[in-house]
Amino acid sequence: MRTHPLDLRGLALVGLRGTGKSTVGRILAQRLDRPFFDADVELEQIAGRSIRAIFAEEGESVFRDLESRVLSELAARRGAVLATGGGVVLREPNRRLLRDFGFVVWLGADPAVLASRLQASPRELADRPALTPAGTLAELADTLRVRAPLYREVADAVIETDRRTAPEVAEAILALWPP
């Protein structure tokens, strides 16, 4: 049986932390019977330490280099479902890789909703470095302001997650997924 080229298209999720990329990605992979990769988890396994530790010990530039390397490796796994790190779109080569990988969905949410989600998950706040000294809500709003045009640039679709459960977000994505 021949595989249609669209069967090899991957599905990548982009967006700020707290939007549900990992949770929704797992659901999508199961529903589509495809492998799932969480770029942040893969990065930490390769580095042998947490993202927070990489930021603290070597800085953001070293982290972004490693993030780009991991994305390149994951993007070679055609047909997979990929949850990316929130800042992966900051580099043009990464945006190119995402567009070439397949169908890209930007999971959006209001920064206040994201702050509330993150504060309800102390582990999430502890695992990820603060990107600004402004506090969670201000940081999310500032980060979204910078990244929104980049998310928009790579996204084939935008799904708002504010008032949806992860299964509902997955269903909305599947309704848009190319046949």
Structural domain tally of the chain? 1
Tell me: pLDDT of 171 over 50. Answer: yes
**Over 90: is that where the pLDDT of 1 sits?**
no
pLDDT exceeds cutoff 50 at 124: yes
Count Cβ atoms below 10 Å from residue 168 Cβ, excluding itself: 14
Residue 52 is part of a domain; what is its CATH number? Answer: 3.40.50.300
Q: Is 58 exposed, middle or buried (0-12, 13-18, 19+ CB in 10 A)?
A: middle
Q: At what angle do helices 39-47 and 60-75 cross, to 10 degrees?
A: 120
Q: Which is nearest to 88 in space by CA: 104, 76, 103?
A: 104
On the 0-12 / 13-18 / 19+ scale of CB atoms within 10 A, 157 is middle
Is the pLDDT confidence value at 101 over 70?
Answer: yes
pLDDT tens profile 54-97: 999 999 999 999 999 999 999 999 899 999 999 999 999 999 99
Q: At 55, phi and psi to the nearest 5?
A: -60, -45
Residue 167: φ, ψ to 5°: -60, -35
The residue segments making up the domain with residue 41 are: 5-170
Tell me, yes or no, whether 179 lies in a domain: no
* Per-residue pLDDT tens over the stretch 128-154: 555 555 567 788 889 999 999 999 999
